Amino acid sequence: MLSRTADNLYWLARCIERAEYLARILDTTLRLTALPLAYVGPSNEWQSAVATAGCVEAFSAAYGEANEQTVTHFLAFSAANPSSIRNCFENARLNARAVRPALTVEMWDTINGAWLELKKWGDGPSSRQDFASFLRWVVESSLRFDGSAYRTMLRNDAYWFSRLGVYIERADNTARILDVKYHLLLPAIEPIGGPLDYFQWTAILRSVSALTAYHWVYRENVKPWLVAELLILRDEMPRSLASCYENLVQNLDRIGRAYGRQGSAQRQARTIRARLENSRIEDIFQAGLHEFLGEFITSNNQVGAAVTQQYLV
């Protein structure tokens, strides 16, 4: 297939994945800020949301203070922020439009429908309730896109490249949210288990839709190192770094087999997967969670660059 087509499919999937992630962050932040101060501490949750989205600099350049109004506008509706939810949908549709023949009717319908629907929201919601339903709608659109891709796409390179986009973006998002909140997970600070930590930890889980999963996996109270373990090492958790890399390696291998050759993208992804497979959460904490995540984000980007180099240009 054309390199440009593969590139469009890859970015299409990334944009949708990112839109969903932003919606989840905003939803979680709304919840946290609705709690009394005593439960969440004095930290500015809106500032933290911007950090989790990875666009602190662009935000501070455009706005002074991080509050509900500025952050929701910036992350959800801003035309100036290249990765606002709105622009994610715009870019997703642009990419989709450029590769229409490679998409199934169902996928196109989902993206085009979402893009048309987005116009209804104009420059922002009229109320908090309105905003909440907007966020729900974003998540649903992403699920619909994922579902239609899963159920209708031929299992060939087009599908595999779009999956690569999903998992690289998802791994990046999970690592980022952990990194921003890592100080909350550091077990050194005792005593733990106060209401403050509890709400912050559940917020992390919620933003990657893993709260219920946590209880199923651990059948325990929410504990910081288990939260970290779940999101980094447990491959049964679909948003964990381990699961993302399990899937990345699988899809890269399929491409490699179909094309009869493989390259540095495959090798790098396998190295990362092996590292995740062989790690224990204790060791990660020992060596420093922040350092671990920083390194992961860098090498994840490198895999993305290797995929681009090898196939997309």
Partner 1 sequence: MFDEMQGSTESLQAVRPTYAALWDWLGEIKPEILDVRRREAELLFRRIGITFAVYGDPEAQERLIPFDVIPRILSAAEWDVLHRGLEQRVKAINAFIADIYHRREILKAGVLPEDIVFQNPVFRPEMNGQKVPHDIYVHIAGIDIVRTDAETFYVLEDNARAPSGVSYMLDNREIMLRLFPELFARYRIAPVENYPDELLQTLKSVAPPTASADPTVVLLTPGAYNSAYYEHSFLADKLGVELVEGRDLVVKDEIVYMRTTQGLKRVDVVYRRVDDDFLDPLVFRPDSTLGVPGLMSAHEAGNVTLANAVGTGIADDKAIYSYMPQILQFYLGEAPILKNVPTWRCRENDHLAYVLEHLEELVVKEVHGSGGYGMLIGPKSDQATIAAFRAKLKLAPRNFVAQPTLALSTCPTCVDAGIAPRHVDLRPFVLAGRDRIRIVPGGLTRVALQKGSLVVNSSQGGGTKDTWVLDR
Binding site for partner 1 (CB under 8 A): 1-6, 94, 97-98, 100-101, 105, 108-109, 112-113, 116, 157, 161, 255, 259, 311-313
Cβ at position 114, least distance to partner 1 in Å: 12
Query: Which residue, 46 or 311, has its beta carbon nearer to partner 1?
Result: 311
Query: Which residue, 3 or 133, has its beta carbon nearer to partner 1?
Result: 3
Angstrom distance (rounded) from CA 12 to CA 229? 30
End-to-end CA distance of the chain: 12
Query: Which residue, 109 or 235, has its beta carbon nearer to partner 1?
Result: 109
Angstrom distance (rounded) from CA 91 to CA 11? 8
What are the structure tokens assigned to 11, written together?
A: 């970015």
Query: Which residue, 103 or 175, has its beta carbon nearer to partner 1?
Result: 103
Query: Which residue, 213 or 255, has its beta carbon nearer to partner 1?
Result: 255
Angle between helices 241-259 and 264-277 (to 10 degrees): 150
> Do the beta carbons of residue 252 and residue 268 sit within 8 Å?
no
3-state secondary structure 235-297: CCCCCCHHHHHHHHHHHHHHHHHHHCCCCHHHHHHHHHHHHHHCCCHHHHHHHCHHHHHHHHH
Cβ at position 253, least distance to partner 1 in Å: 15
Cβ at position 137, least distance to partner 1 in Å: 18
Angstrom distance (rounded) from CA 133 to CA 122? 14
Angstrom distance (rounded) from CA 127 to CA 15? 26
Cβ at position 154, least distance to partner 1 in Å: 13
Cβ at position 102, least distance to partner 1 in Å: 9
Cβ at position 155, least distance to partner 1 in Å: 16
Query: Which residue, 68 or 90, has its beta carbon nearer to partner 1?
Result: 90
